[in-house]
Structures are given as C-alpha cells and as structure tokens.
Amino acid sequence: MAASGIRGPKQIWNAFKWSMKGLRAGWVHEASFRLEACLAVVLVPAGLWLGNGALEKLALVTPAILVLSAELLNSAVEAVVDKVSPEFHELAGRAKDMGSAAVFLLLVLTGLAWVLVLGPRFW
C-alpha cells in the first residue's frame, strides 16, 4: 500500500498538527480571530458554569465555538481571494463580504442564545 493510503494514528496526529498550525495562523495573522478567541475564553467557561443542564450549557457554548470556526473559514476565503486576485474585483469583494456576514450572523446567534437562555432568570 502506498504511503499516502496509510490510515491510523499517524494520520490522526498529522491532522491534529495541521489543525494547530491553522489555529496558530489565525491567532498570529487575524485580529478578529484574536478578539473572538478572547471572547470565547470568557463565554465558554461562563456558559458551562451558568447553564442549567447539558442543553443549556450546549446552547451557550456552541455559538462561541461556531464563531471561531466561521472566522477561520472567512480568513481562509480572504487569503485565497487575495492570492488569486490581488486587484479589486466585484466577485472577490462579494466573497469577502459574505464570509464576514457569516461571522456576524453567528455573533448575533451567540447573543441571542445568551439572552434566551439566561434572560428569563433576570426578568
């Protein structure tokens, strides 16, 4: 069997290393990712502490993780667009704007989840 077809612990380890490399690149090169990561460092433990039961905890934590994921994907789209088309093009701008909109919608979801889950306790 060819080396590229090998499956198992080595492939899992390589995938983990590439993921860590991607997280590091997001942290080093993307101010928005750093800001959202700092927010997640606060929201994830707070959500785990404040949520009553597994579903509430999940509802508070998941959107924060999704924001980070979407920000990384948005940054990847922006990097590819800039590589392929360094000059301005309407489609390139649209792709970047749509990636940004996806992150924004997840930020709205995060706020909505926190208001819906924790709001009734304070009303």
The pLDDT tens digits for 37-47 are: 999 999 999 99
What residue type is assigned to position 102 of the chain?
A
The full set of domain ranges for the chain reads: 30-118
In this structure, CATH architecture of domain 30-118: Orthogonal Bundle (1.10)
pLDDT higher than 50, residue 8: yes
Q: Which residues contact 40 (CB under 8 A, 6 or more apart)?
A: 64, 65, 67, 68
The two three-digit tokens of residue 51, written as one number: 């949520």
List, as one string, the DSSP characters of 36-51: HHHHHHHHHHHHHHH-
- Note if 90 is an active site residue: no
Query: Exactly one of 30, 36, 56, 71 is catalytic; which is it?
Result: 71
The two three-digit tokens of residue 77, written as one number: 């789209």
Q: What is the pLDDT of residue 30?
A: 96
CA distance 56 to 61: 9
pLDDT higher than 50, residue 1: no
Average pLDDT, the chain: 94
Closest CA to 75 of 35, 117, 16, 121: 35
The pLDDT tens digits for 45-83 are: 999 999 999 999 999 999 999 999 999 999 999 999 999
Is pLDDT larger for residue 53 or for residue 5?
53
Entry field: residues in the chain? 123
The two three-digit tokens of residue 72, written as one number: 């990384």
